[in-house]
Structure 1
Amino acid sequence: MDGLRAIAVLAVVFYHVGFAWMPGGFVGVDVFFVISGYVITRGLLREAEHGGISLAAFYARRIRRILPALVATLALTSLAAYWLLLPPQLEDYAGSAVASALSVANVYFWRSSGYFDAAALYRPLLHTWSLSVEEQFYFLLPVSLMLAIRLRLRPLWLPVALVALASFGLSLYAGRFAPTANFYLLPTRAWELLLGTLLAMLPRGAAGALPPVVRGAAGLAGLACIAGPTLLYSDATPFPGLGAVPPCLGAALLIGLGEAREGNAAACLLAAAPLVAIGLISYSAYLVHWPLIVLGRIALIRDFDTPESIAVIGATLVLAALSFRFVERPFRRPAAGARLRPVYAAGLLATLATVGLGWAGAASGGLPGRFPDFRIRSVPGSETWNHRTCFLFPDQSWQAWDQAACTRTAGKDGLVLLWGDSFAAQYVPGLMRHADQLPGNLLQYTAAGCRPTLGVASYVVPHCGAFNDNALALIRRLKIRDVVLAGRWGSQRDRDMPALLHETIARVTALGARVHVIGQSPEFPLDPAFLAYHQRHDPPDEAGRWHPIAERGINRTLWAVLPDTATFIDPFAALCEGGTCPYARGETFLYGDAGHFSSAGSLLAVERYLAAGMFAPPRSAAAAP
């Protein structure tokens, strides 16, 4: 079991530090869910066989197991956050700390962000959503099992299986209509934990009756079901639902096979001493790894390079080992005859203290007295996107789009279709201002999180496929002759993106339209107000510029797959020099947030793109990256 925990936590950590070769490491959380369901249920069933389930004793064990390491992590993270985070960041952090202490972090993050959002990279407690899912499950499972046993429901696994099937069906439904809720909330995740519950209800030793060859093949299949998604999934994979089935089944296979090593290469691998050692500290490792990553990025104001990523992994394991030795282990096993009341009192006191401190930080607006000269000001930009009509939200289908309202300029023959996500919509102010230089009237067709490539499967925007398919119908019906494709091309670790873009351009070109692709634009590690504050003492020739975090290499990849009939603009070539890009000009911010241009930034970008030949003959030398 510890070896499997190690596989799960390492997958999550490798994914979070940004290793490109493991774009689906987030499935490690699903492996943890199956393990948790199995371990908790097995313990409860053992109690039921020896006198009955004691809710008081169960919850006391959960408090001793979960709370000490969590409180220690929150305390150290909060101390670092006090010194590092500017007021808006600390205000959000404080709210998430309250939610984490109350076991509702999943609800908090569901209401305020998506797991794969760019802003999520800078939320130190985002990972506690999964702990809250488990803790909510722990509140419900023992009561449900106790009632089922008292009511003599037989077979006991049947009601569990029915609830798991209902949860799985709800996950499939929510994946299309409420994807963020599907990711974060217990009702759509319960089937993963209940898979472990069902596994614990199987007759003990059942796997031992299988021939060694069968056990070996099943073990390897279980490993493949976990390893495959970690290497092949990406942020673009619809998840959970069907996407979570392989890693969950893989975990169930490996748990079900037990530790019998005869002919079982998987069991031998998971029993390796290094994996067992990491598995023992996996809970603390999970707790500490994400605050280390986030606070490190904020302190450096950039992403980690490879040596730094390796150092973070090493620091995670060291801190986890210390937490296990000095926090987890002393509290986990009470002395003989220890009473339950002190456990509950200590748990309540620790929770109230965390909630109180978090409330103070949130209610004060992030303790602004720490940085009296910091200020946030409104930056115009996105209000011109025509939200919910021309810039659709994830809960909207393409039918909400309105052609008349989204024809943003007038006075010319023909149309220029601007197709993409928010990184296309950011160019609306600039394109409208430079309408006289466009080859037609601007028609805005944009949707949040929806990259303009046919065949894309978006977890964030369930209607994205239909939205993009409708773009072809628009081009055909309106006889559009110029199409501008723009998006956050580097937002998802999707290996299929270049091929999908190539196919999209071919389909658009076949309809007689010219295609103009705007590559990935610069993004920054923090909002411009934060960068400006950190640069407040820098010389004038350095202030207002910073190293971008968006990978410029993606633009070279895009350029390579474009046919000769398409025009390409590299925003880095047009806007940046010497490894830095401007986020401000004097007191004027060119960005409204860490990635999207403000109105002023949009005007500058479009002006540069037009000068670089955005609507010039294809393959203009000036437009090359």
Structure 2
Amino acid sequence: MLTLGSCDGGVPATSVPCTAPVREPPTARRGDVEGLRAVAVLLVVTYHVWLGRVSGGVDVFLLVSAFFLTGGLVRRLDAGERVSVARHWLRVFHRLVPTAGVVVAATVLAGVVLLPAVRWRGLLVDAVGSMTYTENWVLALRAVDYYAADKGSASPLQHMWSLSLQGQAFLLWPVLLVALAALARRTGWLTVRGLAGLGLGAVALTSFAWAVHSTATRQAFAYFDGAARVWELALGGLLALVVHRVQVPAAVAVPLGWLGAAGLVSCGLLLDVTGTFPGWAALWPLLSASAIILAGTAPGRWGVGRVLATSPLVTLGGISYALYLVHWPVLVLWLATSGRERAGMLDGAVVVVASLALAWLLSRAVERPVRALPWLRDAPWRSAGLVLGTAAAVATVSVAGIVRLDGQARRGAELSAGAEVPGYPGARAVHEGLQVAAVAPEDRLPAVTALRREWASLPGPCRGDWSDARLGSACTQLEPAGTPTASVVVVGDSHAEQWLAAVRPIAEEHGWRVVALLEGGCSFGAASTRTGGCADFNLAATAYLRQRPVDLVVTVSTAAHPTTTGERLVPGYAEVVRELTMHGVPVVGLRDNPRFTYAVAACVLENGDRDCSPRVAQKLAPSSPADALVGVDGFTSIDLTDLICPEGVCVPSVGNVWVYLDDNHLTRSFGATLSSALSDRLMAAGAWPEPDPGPPVVAGHLGVAGGPGGQVRR
């Protein structure tokens, strides 16, 4: 057990004399800071429900939590008290875990009843992440778009990321502060408070530098990255160390506090924080909150602290934890069941009132009673049993659910690997004219519970001469067992990535090396038509293709629109095609697939196939925009729309295989069933990447450039 000895009556840590502790007024129960917590949760709820923007309220939560945590621990350590880290952990998680466990369990039950099966596995994974305080890393690795307009498609437990980050801080902070206090006493160089300040300052500067860098380079990951967020906690800790020493004159405190309040409330309205948190922009709400806390040290009847310390706000601050826990599941489940993308004024008000009522009930029925029960509070082993038992019970049931769903999902594993499964021919039913008996939606492959894992990929990172430091993890590779017969590179965004499912079986059959250069949200085109990281990626990818012996480049040439027939050539695509072909690099451009405004499989489960099957004439342009590149020597345009939308109808499944994993990406399983058709059309178009494919064969039903029955274009 990690503890620090007392200097007053306890066993001293060393023979070094103890420095007299600095005494200051307690900060643990400042009414204005409790009120600030209430304002922060109101901002979070309001922005989530009605504005669909980031308010900065979560950042204030992190700062305030660290303010209380650091202030309390350093006061005890500075006074020479014996601090048991294990007991501190137990007290903190005794307050947090039971309430969280009730909310997570209730959300999972409600999600299974109200959400389509395609979302169950993700919900269970988030439940495990929530109860193990790792949800921020789950979402970081998943690279969730926190700013998605359609909150109804978000996870009902996505908001647990910030509580997971706080939980990690609650584990780390006492260890760090006790270790610093022990070092201060052992060396005598600085007081406990002074060394704690240096330590937290170093943490803050290091983390902030990382936050600025990672926000600029991979913001979707950085948003949930604990290393990029810990500076916000460290800032709250530093504030706790200095607040008692700052004497703000009343004449300054009044405008300072109100300025901080105005900055906090207006942050999400005046700043377009999408893509900028947790970097420089996060200073806005944090400095605003810091100004409010500093202003509260000066008495005054006109200060913002008087308002924040009023009974309604202090009461709301007392249930802020429960309100944060419940508001997001209530909102997401309402949007999912109502089919709305965002709440309006009336239903949003109902969501807020319902969340307040549930938070009050949760606080009165679970949070306060569990915290106050003497037989738990006074018996550490019982308290530990409650904490660990609650977390383990919810996590274990969730893991069992994941295992069961994964067992169902294995039915489609052979199909997604490129094997032929009787009764499930997918696109081959159209390409080869096969007759197949239709099955019910719940019997189609892959299992709807596994759709979100139906992304195509290659087995490992690029290596040897095929790796490139400029592309890093964006470059992956499939190497054949023997000497490669050809080297094929698939390049672009997620719509290029999905075609790996069709390319890979061909490569494995014919001994190709396949390299994928992929950057999410960044289609392949001339770098001059892109900005930021996307421009860098396209510049590096183009140079990569010119500098290596590439036999064929596979790209997506067009971009479909989800609501109109406004399909267009990918911006800058013509320029990059001409640049590559001019240097002798052959390029195949695959026409984009239709896109939708709804998750296709979920639509079928709720409404049936007919209501989820628009005609292709409603989704794509009358002819492929890639026709504009007809005549460019070395370029081949291939259109497989006739297999994705047979007989002109974009059906949700073809040959008993789900076509889409979401609203716009093909499943890996369906893509694998496209491989034979893609192989035939590459050969027919004369684009086969072998040294001597023989003379091109032109068939009558190739779907090349002009669609079914089109003429070969090169």
Given that residues 475 and 518 in structure 2 are in contact (C-alpha distance below 8 angstroms), is that contact kept between their aligned partners in structure 1?
Answer: no
Deviations along 1:29-69, whole A, 9 cap, x unmatched? Answer: 22221121112223334545777365477445424532342
Which residue is 1:281 aligned to? Answer: 319
Deviations along 1:45-101, whole A, 9 cap, x unmatched? Answer: 454577736547744542453234212212322332453567775455444434433
Given that residues 37 and 196 in structure 1 are in contact (C-alpha distance below 8 angstroms), is that contact kept between their aligned partners in structure 2?
Answer: yes
Given that residues 326 and 358 in structure 2 are in contact (C-alpha distance below 8 angstroms), is that contact kept between their aligned partners in structure 1?
Answer: no
Which residue is 1:467 aligned to? Answer: 537
Shift of 1:364: 5.3
1:361-440 → structure 2 map (5 Å cutoff): 361-363=398-400, 365=402, 377-378=412-413, 380=416, 396-397=471-472, 400=475, 420-426=492-498
Q: Per the alignment, do residues 402 and 252 of structure 1 end up closer, same or farther by CA in structure 2, a change over 3 Å counting?
A: same
Which residue is 1:449 aligned to? Answer: 520
Q: Per the alignment, do residues 398 and 468 of structure 1 end up closer, same or farther by CA in structure 2, a change over 3 Å counting?
A: farther
Give the letter aligned to residue 161 of structure 1: G
The whole-number CA distance in structure 1 between the counterparts of 2:94 and 2:478 is 59
Are positions 1:35 and 2:64 aligned together? yes
Given that residues 485 and 517 in structure 1 are in contact (C-alpha distance below 8 angstroms), is that contact kept between their aligned partners in structure 2?
Answer: yes
Given that residues 164 and 191 in structure 1 are in contact (C-alpha distance below 8 angstroms), is that contact kept between their aligned partners in structure 2?
Answer: yes
- With normalisation by structure 2, the TM-score equals 0.59
Match of 2:267 among 210, 226, 230: 226
Q: Per the alignment, do residues 331 and 160 of structure 1 end up closer, same or farther by CA in structure 2, a change over 3 Å counting?
A: same
Given that residues 102 and 351 in structure 1 are in contact (C-alpha distance below 8 angstroms), is that contact kept between their aligned partners in structure 2?
Answer: no
Which residue is 1:496 aligned to? Answer: none
Give the letter aligned to residue 589 of structure 1: W
Which residue is 2:145 aligned to? Answer: 116
Q: Per the alignment, do residues 89 and 63 of structure 1 end up closer, same or farther by CA in structure 2, a change over 3 Å counting?
A: same
Q: Per the alignment, do residues 599 and 575 of structure 1 end up closer, same or farther by CA in structure 2, a change over 3 Å counting?
A: closer
Shift of 1:343: 6.7
Match of 2:233 among 193, 200, 207: 193
2:199 is paired with a residue of what secondary structure?
A: helix
Match of 2:248 among 192, 203, 207: 207
Given that residues 525 and 594 in structure 1 are in contact (C-alpha distance below 8 angstroms), is that contact kept between their aligned partners in structure 2?
Answer: yes
Which residue is 2:107 aligned to? Answer: 77
1:83-162 → structure 2 map (5 Å cutoff): 83-84=113-114, 89-110=119-140, 113-116=142-145, 121-150=153-182, 151-152=184-185, 153-154=190-191, 155=194, 156-162=196-202
1:124 is paired with a residue of what secondary structure?
A: coil
Shift of 1:428: 6.8
Which consecutive unaligned segments of at least 5 residues does structure 1 have?
434-442, 459-463, 491-500, 557-561, 617-625
Match of 1:588 among 635, 654, 657: 657
Report the identity percentage: 25
Shift of 1:200: 0.8
The whole-number CA distance in structure 1 between the counterparts of 2:590 and 2:307 is 48
Given that residues 128 and 399 in structure 2 are in contact (C-alpha distance below 8 angstroms), is that contact kept between their aligned partners in structure 1?
Answer: no
Deviations along 1:447-468, whole A, 9 cap, x unmatched? Answer: 141423755456xxxxx44212
Which residue is 2:282 aligned to? Answer: 244
Are positions 1:323 and 2:359 aligned together? yes
Are positions 1:163 and 2:208 aligned together? no
The whole-number CA distance in structure 1 between the counterparts of 2:89 and 2:461 is 50
The whole-number CA distance in structure 2 between the counterparts of 1:308 and 1:392 is 50
Deviations along 1:266-310, whole A, 9 cap, x unmatched? Answer: 76886799876654433222211332344445545xx52445686
The whole-number CA distance in structure 2 between the counterparts of 1:50 and 1:337 is 27
The whole-number CA distance in structure 1 between the counterparts of 2:293 and 2:257 is 13
The whole-number CA distance in structure 2 between the counterparts of 1:510 and 1:254 is 59
The whole-number CA distance in structure 2 between the counterparts of 1:602 and 1:274 is 62
The whole-number CA distance in structure 1 between the counterparts of 2:47 and 2:673 is 32
Given that residues 171 and 240 in structure 1 are in contact (C-alpha distance below 8 angstroms), is that contact kept between their aligned partners in structure 2?
Answer: yes
Q: Per the alignment, do residues 48 and 87 of structure 1 end up closer, same or farther by CA in structure 2, a change over 3 Å counting?
A: same
Deviations along 1:315-373, whole A, 9 cap, x unmatched? Answer: 3442343333453587448669887334762452354144235324423546569xx99
1:202 is paired with a residue of what secondary structure?
A: helix
> Which structure's relative contact order is higher, taking Cα pairs within 8 Å and 6+ residues apart?
1
Match of 1:292 among 330, 335, 342: 330
Instruction: Give me the CA root mean square deviation.
Output: 6.2
Given that residues 95 and 358 in structure 1 are in contact (C-alpha distance below 8 angstroms), is that contact kept between their aligned partners in structure 2?
Answer: no
Given that residues 250 and 300 in structure 2 are in contact (C-alpha distance below 8 angstroms), is that contact kept between their aligned partners in structure 1?
Answer: no
Given that residues 250 and 299 in structure 2 are in contact (C-alpha distance below 8 angstroms), is that contact kept between their aligned partners in structure 1?
Answer: no
- With normalisation by structure 1, the TM-score equals 0.66
Q: Per the alignment, do residues 509 and 252 of structure 1 end up closer, same or farther by CA in structure 2, a change over 3 Å counting?
A: farther
Given that residues 210 and 228 in structure 2 are in contact (C-alpha distance below 8 angstroms), is that contact kept between their aligned partners in structure 1?
Answer: yes
**Which has the higher mean CA deviation after the structures are superposed, 444-453 or 188-197?**
444-453
Are positions 1:522 and 2:598 aligned together? no
Shift of 1:198: 0.3
Shift of 1:422: 0.9
Q: Per the alignment, do residues 34 and 307 of structure 1 end up closer, same or farther by CA in structure 2, a change over 3 Å counting?
A: closer
The whole-number CA distance in structure 1 between the counterparts of 2:474 and 2:401 is 43
Which consecutive unaligned segments of at least 5 residues does structure 2 have?
1-32, 419-453, 506-513, 563-569, 582-586, 631-639, 682-701
Which residue is 1:440 aligned to? Answer: none
Give the letter aligned to residue 468 of structure 1: N
Deviations along 1:398-431, whole A, 9 cap, x unmatched? Answer: 89489999xxxx99xxxx9986311233357889
The whole-number CA distance in structure 2 between the counterparts of 1:103 and 1:506 is 48
Which residue is 1:623 aligned to? Answer: none
Q: Per the alignment, do residues 404 and 93 of structure 1 end up closer, same or farther by CA in structure 2, a change over 3 Å counting?
A: closer
Q: Per the alignment, do residues 520 and 315 of structure 1 end up closer, same or farther by CA in structure 2, a change over 3 Å counting?
A: farther
2:81 is paired with a residue of what secondary structure?
A: coil
Given that residues 394 and 448 in structure 1 are in contact (C-alpha distance below 8 angstroms), is that contact kept between their aligned partners in structure 2?
Answer: no
1:5 is paired with a residue of what secondary structure?
A: helix
Q: Per the alignment, do residues 126 and 201 of structure 1 end up closer, same or farther by CA in structure 2, a change over 3 Å counting?
A: same
Shift of 1:138: 1.4
**Which has the higher mean CA deviation after the structures are superposed, 582-591 or 597-606?**
597-606
Given that residues 124 and 294 in structure 1 are in contact (C-alpha distance below 8 angstroms), is that contact kept between their aligned partners in structure 2?
Answer: yes
